[in-house]
Amino acid sequence: MRIWNFGIIGAGAVAEFHAKAIQHLENARLIGVCGSGSGRAEALAKKYGCRVFPDYHALLRSEEIDIVTIATPSGLHMEPAVEAARCGKHVLCEKPLDISLERIDAMIEAHDEAGTRLGGIFNYRFAETTNFLKQAVEKGRFGVLSFASIHVPWWRSDEYYQHPWRGTLELDGGGAMMNQAIHMVDMLQYIMGPIDTLQAYIATLGHNIEAEDTATAILRFKNKALGSIYGTTASFPGQPRRIEITGTGGTAILEDSDIKVWQFTNETEEDAILRDKYASTGNAGGASDPSAIPFELHAHNIAAFIESVEAGQPFKIDGKEARKAVEIVLAMYSSAKENRAYRF
């Protein structure tokens, strides 16, 4: 079994998830980490038994490292991702891939030219119940799809936004939508397919930040179903994220990764088993405390990326796929700013 050597660029809270996930995998080893000089990289290296590199340039020059994960502020993803391609490193980048389509396209182009892999982290896709939901849509179990919605009614304290880059347009790229709800935006488009048109509204209501802390949109999918998006960090005390899909043949509702409703006109024996087994999965967290998210879904995301690199097969969340959620969030911002419907 080949052991794949990893480096982590960034040493904040998300880097901790990456380190723990890498340590969890039998075919992965963490070689080193670099940070911004705050001392966090040294603490992370000590905890996980790896090296500290002075900066990402030095980390990317290391011949030991095969794959790099990027966990810097969102608006600082492109530069190390492009340099990594030039250094022959595969890259798995935290969501969002970056904060503009132009920067994301530069990342994709660099890896296409280098023959290296660029992948995104959308770890909710690796929950078993997410894939049950996608399979049910693909099998036509919902009949005529009529409506799909996501709700992310989360809470972030004022202390959370004291971090200098959070809630800024320059480095966070937005607020509740670009940072928090983008996971569920990805899940919605992954399961329902592309959006045709949306009309959005955004507001900053509960926090003194530059970006939005509350956003909503109404949608029409290309498959003719209607839908909605809601995301906020101004909803105390924070509630589980939720996706609902309904049609003439059934309804399914997930809260976090738990099945709350799973009913179809063509009921099967497996449906009752799923309702019972996945009523409480333990894959909750994040509604009020971003550090309370289980690392296991990150581990599945990283393992799938390694598998695709080993097999020489496309990764299901490659750069072009990870770009889609950012495009939707940016479309919401454009629609709200211009007070008009946005058509893709």
For 103-132, the pLDDT digits (tens) are: 999 999 999 999 999 999 999 999 999 999
Instruction: Indicate if the pLDDT at residue 285 is higher than 80.
Output: no
The chain-wide mean pLDDT, for the chain, equals 96
pLDDT tens, 224-237?
999 999 999 999 99
Q: Are residues 160 and 306 in the same domain?
A: no
Least confident piece of the model among 24-38, 61-75, 284-298, 303-317: 284-298
Q: What is the model's pLDDT at position 343? A: 98
Residue 338 in domain: no
In a domain, 330, yes or no: no
What's the structural domain count of the chain? Answer: 2
Residues 29-71 have pLDDT tens digits of 999 999 988 899 999 999 999 999 999 999 999 999 999 999 9
* Pairwise CA distance, residues 153 & 238, whole Å: 6
Both 163 and 36 in one domain: the answer is no
Same domain flag for 111 and 167: no
What b/e sequence results for 322-341 when a residue is b if at least 16 CB atoms lie within 10 Å of its CB, and e otherwise? bbbbbbbbbbbbebbeeeee
Kindly state whether residues 14 and 79 are assigned to the same domain. yes
Please indicate, yes or no, whether residues 278 and 301 belong to a single structural domain of this protein: no
Are the C-beta atoms of 239 and 153 separated by less than 8 Å?
yes
CATH classification of the domain holding 101: 3.40.50.720
Residues 108 and 190 occupy one common structural domain = no
Q: What is the CATH number for 163?
A: 3.30.360.10
Domain containing 113: what range? 4-121+295-318
pLDDT 10s digits, 182-208 = 999 999 999 999 999 999 999 999 999
pTM given for the model: 0.97
In this structure, are 78 and 149 located in the same domain? no
